[in-house]
Each structure stands twice: as structure tokens, then as C-alpha cells.
Amino acid sequence: MIDLNEYTPGVKEFIRVEVGRFTKTHPEVEVASAALYSSPLDCWLFLNFDSEENAKSFLKEWSEKGEPWVGEDESGSFNNSCPDYDFFEFGRMDFDEWCDEIEEASILTIRSTEEYQIDLEEDGDEAANIIFFKWLLSIVRELEAEGVFNGLQKASTFRLGVQILDSECEAFWISE
């Protein structure tokens, strides 16, 4: 069983440490977005940062191609592709125990707010992705409320986000 509640303190600490490290190593960077990017079934989590400069370049590139490969919200377009951030995989956390559990279990049991039984062959990866996504989203929102991201040099419109690789699970929002 993967009990996400057991991992919550470690993930929170990982984010706190990496935000602090980014602030110290890149104090000049105007941050447009900070986002978690994960492939839970591959057992990894990245913390990524996108500069305002890179975000503008990304948006310009995609607008010239005429393709809508960007995020949209009430403040306009933004880079919602973590792999295209200029500080992609700034911090990395691996969960080797998850891989062991995923490989060994025919039915994957995940505990977060409740306990879930997932047959990956029948239910597909997205069933597990949704659970991990909701868990990561709650962590980022808690840390946002605690002011963990306040030390960053934020762009005038600063977004936080959570994105799961090859999934519909994605959320970005404007953070004050």
C-alpha cells in the first residue's frame, strides 16, 4: 500500500528546501510560475520554475505557430508546460518504494483522504494519477497559504501549478 499521508511531511519539506535554494541561487530571476510536475507511476516528482522572460518567449513562439499550446486564465495566456520551463527539474524527489509497490501489486492500494483500490490494467494509469494529483494539489495549496513561495521574486502575475505527465490532471492558478 502507498500511504500518501506518510509522504506528506517529506514532500512539504522538499518544496520548502527547494524554494529556498532557488531564492538563494537565482535571486535575480523574476518568477512567472512555480509548479510540481510528476509521473507518480514512474515514482518521481520535480519542482520547476519558469522565469517571466522564458514565459514570454514561449508564448511568442506558440503564437507565431498559431497553435493554442498554452494555458489561459482571467489574466491571459501563460506557459503551462513544465518541461518548457527554464528551470525544469530544479528539484527532484524520487519514491523508490512506490515503484516496488506498483511492480508487485496486481491491485494498487493508495491511501490519502480515503483508501483506493486501483487495478491499473483495468482502470488505467489515470485512475491513480487523479489520486496523486489531488494529493499534490492540496500540498501546494497548504504551502501557498503558509507563505512558502513569498521569498521568490514574483512576476506581476505569478502562478502556482501541479501537472501530471501524460495526463489530464493539471491545475494552474494565480497566487497573490
| More confident position, 36 or 76 | 36
Interaxial angle between packed helices 125-146 and 4-25, expressed in degrees from 0 to 180 and rounded to the nearest 10:
50
Q: What are the CA-CA distances from residue 149 to residues 31, 40, 96, 103, 175 (Å)? A: 10, 23, 27, 35, 9
Residue 39 pLDDT class (50, 70, 90 cuts): very high
Model confidence pLDDT, tens digit, residues 12-27? 999 999 999 999 999 9
pLDDT at 133: 98
Burial of 114 (0-12, 13-18, 19+ CB in 10 A): exposed
Please give the pLDDT value at position 67. 64
User: How does DSSP classify residue 53?
Assistant: H
Alpha-carbon distance of 174 to 141, in angstroms, equals 11
Cβ proximity of 116 and 4 under 8 Å = no
Taking the domains of the chain in order of start, what are their residue ranges?
Answer: 9-94+124-175
- Give the model's pLDDT for residue 68: 66
Rounded to an integer, what distance in angstroms lies between the CA atom of residue 130 and that of residue 136?
10
Question: For the chain, what is the mean pLDDT?
Answer: 95
Task: Judge whether residue 62 has pLDDT over 70.
Answer: yes
- Residue 78's φ and ψ, nearest 5 degrees, are -155, 160
Q: Is the pLDDT of residue 42 over 70?
A: yes
Look at residue 43 and give its three-state secondary structure. Answer: coil
Average pLDDT for 37-42 = 97
Per-residue pLDDT tens over the stretch 83-105: 999 999 999 999 999 999 999 88
Residue carrying C-alpha cell 520551463: 85
pTM of the model: 0.95
Nearest in space to 161 (alpha carbons), one of 85, 96, 93: 85
Q: Please give the pLDDT value at position 105.
A: 85
